[in-house]
Amino acid sequence: MQRLTLVMTHQCNLDCRYCLQKHENVSMPVEVAEHAIENFRCALMAEGEAGFPISAQISFYGGEPLLERKKIEYLVTYANDRIGGLPCSPLSYEITTNGLLMDQDFLDFAKKNHIILALSHDGLAQDPVRKDRGGKGTSEIVDEKLEMLLRTFPDTIVMMTIHPDHADLVAESIAFFHEKGVRSVSLVPAHGERVSWTDEKFAVFSKQMEKVKVHYEQWNQGDQYFRVIPFDNKIRNYIRQKSADSPSCHFGCHKIIVDTDGKYYPCTHFVGRDGFSIGSLEADVDDEKVASLESLRVEPELCRECELRDRCHHTCACANHGHTGSLGSVSALQCEYEKLIIRLADEAAANLIREENPRFVERMYRN
Amino acid sequence: MKQEPVKHVTRPSYPTLDQVKKYPQTSTLTKVAAVTAVTATIAMAATACGDSVEHNYSFGEAFKGLLREVPKATTVELAGDTTTETTEEVLMGEMIIETDETCINGDMVVYTEPVDTGLILDGEARPYVEED
């Protein structure tokens, strides 16, 4: 799949405690977005002419992308017109949003246009961690938005970021989401200079994830389903003997991020960071720069001896850089997290598959 | 917390797709007449599934259920059963037509979406007008 991500704005209406983005008052001009879509169209046509099957996705990113909602609605219509007619799988879209600006009209538009909406929500830690710009908690409004979202998209994905100070709320938060009707949760520990993971806090997180595993097994019995995305990924990748290192983790390969000023980046993590631009709308992808960055994306030496290396995200450049400042190093947090998730996923999968829970087996083994 | 390589890993006890595919075919095998997303053939006898898998798997009902996945009509011919049936099922609560990987916020998500090309093309693109 080819992916284009448009950074619609750097602004955000929240002030999350772990956020590392600079919320400058800049947004993407429509002309820049149209130019990016045209370049994307050309790239897709070239893939088609080379005989590759094409499938394409356009993501809208921020800050908070729905601050530019009108532009997004226009650009979806524009892209449908320019790309929708190509002989490829239907164009899909994705928006990760904090939900505050969603309404039913937008959800109806999203449904009509195959927009995947992922909602950022930290569960019971929402109020202490994800406050608005006025310092007010946002759980009440986001919970309402979640209910609205689930009525239109029952398979909505919720994205949780775990702040170390609130790691004790993980399992209860997952249960909260399940109770609300959520059936897909992605979760990841917060990292960077604004958070601090100690051994004690990680131990709390680990105990919570053991409880999440128990929930996962309960809620995947029989015809039920509940996805914990990190577990699902580890299990599916093992079943397919597929490396955790996704092709889109390689710079300039399968995805391009276009910033508000038209500069290209290999991943949303690198947007605006000096030295990581890999081209621009005018100049297109700078292959030499891509090669130069790829050469820095080495496997950490310690990881080469590890028997879990094929199942671990240790070569994800943006994750490594976010944790350590280096493309070729992993942090102790990453290492412990990966080992934990792999172990718990395997324990859960062994039980669920041995018991032949039909829906779970289907989800994991279907090609 | 330590960055520490892991040695002497116990292999997961659930089978890989390759192990399922290599499972010896028997006269009770189920065949799929049309191409679906399922590529494995399923043995219905309960025996061990592979030398590296610790538990015996029967590949019974749950794995037969893999053949239910059909976005379009699929003809299933059950070995030993002369009935041919056309099935079209969508699992409740889950939109299933094509599997595809989507990258959401750095996390790969296998996501499925119904395909209906009638909804994709939205008519003529109108020029964007900035609101004051």
Q: Kindly list the domain boundaries of chain B, sorted by start residue.
A: 17-119
> pLDDT at residue A78 above 70?
yes
**Alpha-carbon span A97 to A93, nearest angstrom:** 13
> A239 contacts in B (CB within 8 Å)?
14-17
Query: What pLDDT is stored for residue B43 in this prediction?
Result: 31
Q: With beta carbons less than 8 A apart as the criterion, state whether A289 and A266 touch.
A: no
Q: Which residues of A touch B60 (CB under 8 A)?
A: 356
The least confident of A150-159, A205-214, A260-269, B57-66 is B57-66
* CB-CB neighbours of A347 under 10 Å: 18
- Among B91, B100, B126, the residue with its CB nearest the CB of A359 is B91
Q: Tell which A residues from 185 to 224 touch B, by Cβ distance under 8 Å.
A: 186, 188, 197, 199, 202, 223
Query: Which among B7, B38, B104 has the least Cβ separation from residue A366?
Result: B38
Residue-wise pLDDT tens digits, A41-55 = 988 888 777 776 677
For A159, list phi and psi in degrees, rounded to 5: -110, 115
Band of pLDDT at residue B19, cut at 50, 70 and 90: confident
User: Among partner residues B16, B18, B105, which is closest to A159 by beta-carbon distance?
Assistant: B105
Q: What is the mean pLDDT of chain B?
A: 47
| Neighboring chain A residues of B62 at a CB cutoff of 8 Å | 353, 356-358, 360-362
pLDDT score at A47: 78
Comparing CA positions, the residue from B56, B108, B40, B66 lying closest to residue A229 is: B108
| Residues A316/A298, Cβ–Cβ less than 8 Å | no
Contact call for residues A130 and A122 (beta carbons, < 8 A): yes
Q: Is residue B8 very low, low, confident or very high in pLDDT (cuts 50, 70, 90)?
A: confident
For residue B95, pLDDT beyond 50: no
pLDDT for A1: 65
Q: Using a CB–CB cutoff of 8 Å, tell me whether B120 touches chain A.
A: yes
Selected residue of B103, B124, B131 to mutate for chain A interface (largest A Cβ count, 10 A) = B103
Structure tokens at B55: 């538990």
For residue B122, the chain A residues in CB contact (below 8 A) are 76-77, 80-81, 84, 112-113
pLDDT tens for A288-333 read: 988 888 888 888 888 999 999 999 988 777 778 888 888 888 889 9
Percent of chain A with pLDDT over 70: 96
Q: Contacts for A37-44 with beta carbons within 8 Å, 24 or more apart?
A: A37/A4, A37/A75, A37/A78, A37/A79, A37/A82, A37/A83, A38/A82, A39/A281, A39/A284, A40/A2, A40/A4, A40/A83, A40/A256, A41/A82, A41/A83, A41/A86, A43/A2, A44/A2, A44/A83, A44/A86, A44/A88
Q: What is the mean pLDDT of residues A193-212?
A: 96
Cβ-defined contact of B106 to A84 (cutoff 8 Å): no
Query: Would you state the pLDDT for residue B58?
Result: 52
To test the contact with chain A by mutation, choose from B7, B17, B64 the residue with the greatest count of A C-beta atoms within 10 A, namely B17
Share of chain B above pLDDT 70, in %: 17
ipTM entry: 0.84
Q: CA-nearest residue of chain B to A200?
A: B1
Position A328 scores a pLDDT of 80
Q: How distant, in Å, are the alpha carbons of A43, A283, A286, A315, B35 from that of A293?
A: 22, 18, 11, 13, 41
Higher pLDDT: A177 or B17? It is A177
Q: How far apart are alpha carbons A176 and A170 in whole angstroms?
A: 10
Question: Per-residue pLDDT for A20 more than 50?
Answer: yes
Q: Give residue A60's region: left, alpha or beta (phi > 0; psi -120 to 50).
A: beta
Q: Nearest chain A residue to B55 by CA: give it.
A: A354
Judge whether B122 and A80 are in contact, CB under 8 Å.
yes
Handedness of CA B12, B15, B17, B23 (dihedral sign): positive
pLDDT at B96: 31
Beta bridge partners of A285: A279
